[in-house]
Amino acid sequence: MKIKKILVTGGTGGIGSSIVACLSAQPGFVVHAPSRSELDLGLQESIKEYFSRSSDYDIVINNAGINTPQNIEQIETEQIETALNINLVAPLLVIKYCVPHMKRQGFGRIVNVSSIWGIRSKERRTLYSATKFGLNGMTRSLARELGPFNILVNSICPGYVDTALTRKNVTPKEQEKIRQEIPLRRFAEPREIAESIAFLVSERNSYMTGQTLIVDGGFIA
């Protein structure tokens, strides 16, 4: 079996570190998770430079993302640019640079880490939802375009995951209220998101593409 080379962005984060641990533990995978100093997703020049050195990834997981909830009047112009760049433009560029290798070998798996706020939304998530809805749209278009080359493209939409990002954006009181609205009555462990991604990028997934897989304990059902 050919060893598959995987790129995971945001591999230092709450969900990203679980993705790296989960995939590294599986035979046949070599996982690369560049730090921000090696690949700054907010800077298009940094992205171009990184992939000019190496772009032969068989599997790409666009996981890095930011979420800074704000009322519309508080949003600064520079913050719009930053959110769009990191959450939307960067995944697009990463895919653009990795697709030629995938096409050449007739195999590729791409997972974009989106959010339930890319399916529905809530107050103070204007920028976040704009980028995550965009990511889900991009996933569908790419799935159609790249399907003939056996490159499967999916989004995963986590609900509330027990991470530092969630604890920063949701007060303990709100967390308790939300837990009662989740049919499973708890937030996801990062490992549970990683396991779903592991399936999507594996050869066991041979027919699922263009999907937005919701992993939210039933929250938006």
* Residues marked as catalytic: 128
Least gap, CB of 125 to ligand NAP (angstroms): 11
10 in contact with ligand NAP (CB under 6 A):
yes
160 in contact with ligand NAP (CB under 6 A):
yes
86 in contact with ligand NAP (CB under 6 A):
yes
CA atoms within 13 A on the CB side of 184: 14
Residue of 21, 66, 75, 84 that binds ligand NAP (CB under 6 A): 66
Q: Which residue intervals of 69-209 are DSSP H helices?
A: 77-84, 90-105, 126-146, 164-169, 172-181, 190-201
88 in contact with ligand NAP (CB under 6 A):
no
212 in contact with ligand NAP (CB under 6 A):
no
Amino acid at 42: G
Residue of 5, 14, 103, 126 that binds ligand NAP (CB under 6 A): 14
Strand order in the sheet with 29-32: 29-32, 4-8, 59-62, 108-113, 151-158, 212-215
- What part of residues 122-141 is at the interface with ligand NAP (CB under 6 A)? none
Q: Both tokens of residue 181? A: 């609205």
DSSP-based three-state secondary structure for 81: helix
Q: What does the binding site for ligand NAP look like in residue numbers (CB under 6 A)?
A: 10, 12-16, 36, 40-42, 63-67, 86, 113, 115, 158, 160-161, 163-166
